[in-house]
Amino acid sequence: MNLNELKCPNCNGVIDFDASNQKGKCPFCGSKFKPSAPVETSVTINKKVSFLGNFSILDLMIIAVLAALGIAVGGIVGPLVRLITGPLMLPGGSVAGGIYMLFLVMCVSLTGKKTAALLCGIVQAIIVYVTGFGGHHGALTILTYSAPGAAVLVLLLILRHKGCCKLCMFFAGMIANLTGTFLVSAGVMALPLVPLLLGLTLAAVSGGLGGLLGHSLTVQIKKLEVLK
């Protein structure tokens, strides 16, 4: 059945149809309508995008928003964290990374797709590479931003989880921040062994806590039922 064919059986008026739950209501006589066969429509945000696998338009919107938020928030949180970690001689990027990575893992928990973190990382890499905002690392930018998402994907495939609980979100945040911190610290900054190990230790703790925060935010967002 096509969306254009939906007319009220009582007054022949055009029905207001919600494709997400396959229900409609006539705005003229108030009659409710539920089709016997699925209605084909291309305007629903839950429509699947075949060339990107199983992502819906809503999934892609969530990933795009979270990717942009991660870059924006990172640009604010990073300098603030360094004001505290600088005098303590601690690597600020490792600590602030927990905040960056929570957006990455939230892409998985909000969409239910393991590959969402990788796609989010790729989007962030493109944003940073094109705009220079958020920590440009030259040609390594694509790697340093997309690799954490790839690491999350591998971890979730091993655990057979998809951002569904505190445990997998904790380890997803941890592995994401560890991967990003290692690539920047070893590949870009070429830190000596001791500072590198200190940074990785802080990255593991910060990333794990960021994952837990991401889980809590996901639970609250889902309670609001704004993503249906």
Mean pLDDT in residue range 147-156: 95
Name the token pair of 127. 């944003």
d(CA 90, CA 109): 31
Share of the chain above pLDDT 70, in %: 79
Task: Specify the range with the lowest mean pLDDT, choosing from 2-11, 29-38, 72-81, 87-96.
Answer: 2-11
Alpha-carbon torsion angle 207, 103, 77, 128, nearest 10: 110
Residue 117 has pLDDT above 90, yes or no: yes
pLDDT at 2: 44
Domains and CATH numbers, the chain: 3-33 (no CATH), 50-224 (1.10.1760.20)
Q: What are the strands of the beta sheet with 32-33, ordered from one edge? A: 16-18, 23-25, 32-33
Query: What local confidence, expressed as pLDDT, does residue 102 receive?
Result: 92
In this prediction, residue 227 has a pLDDT band, given cuts at 50, 70 and 90, of: low
**Residue 67: its H or E element:** helix 57-85
CA torsion angle 108 114 118 119 (round to 10): -70
Residue 179 has pLDDT above 90, yes or no: yes
* pLDDT of 139 higher than 90: no
Note the pLDDT of residue 10.
79
Q: Judge whether 176 and 151 are in contact, CB under 8 Å.
A: yes
- Measured from the Cβ of residue 156, the count of other Cβ atoms closer than 10 Å reads 24
Name the range with the highest mean pLDDT among 79-83, 136-140, 157-161: 157-161
- This prediction has a pTM of 0.73
Under 8 Å between Cβ of 177 and 200? no
Give the per-residue pLDDT at 17.
65
Where on the phi/psi map is residue 22: left (φ > 0), alpha (ψ -120 to 50), or beta? left
Mean pLDDT (the chain) is 82
* E strand or H helix at 17: strand 16-18
Best CA proximity match to 226, nearest among 41, 42, 14, 45: 45
- Asked if 56 and 45 count as a contact pair (C-beta separation under 8 A), the reply is yes
* Structure confidence at residue 182 (pLDDT): 92
Residue 134 pLDDT grade (very low, low, confident, very high; cuts 50, 70, 90): low
Look at residue 43 in the predicted model and tell me its pLDDT: 45
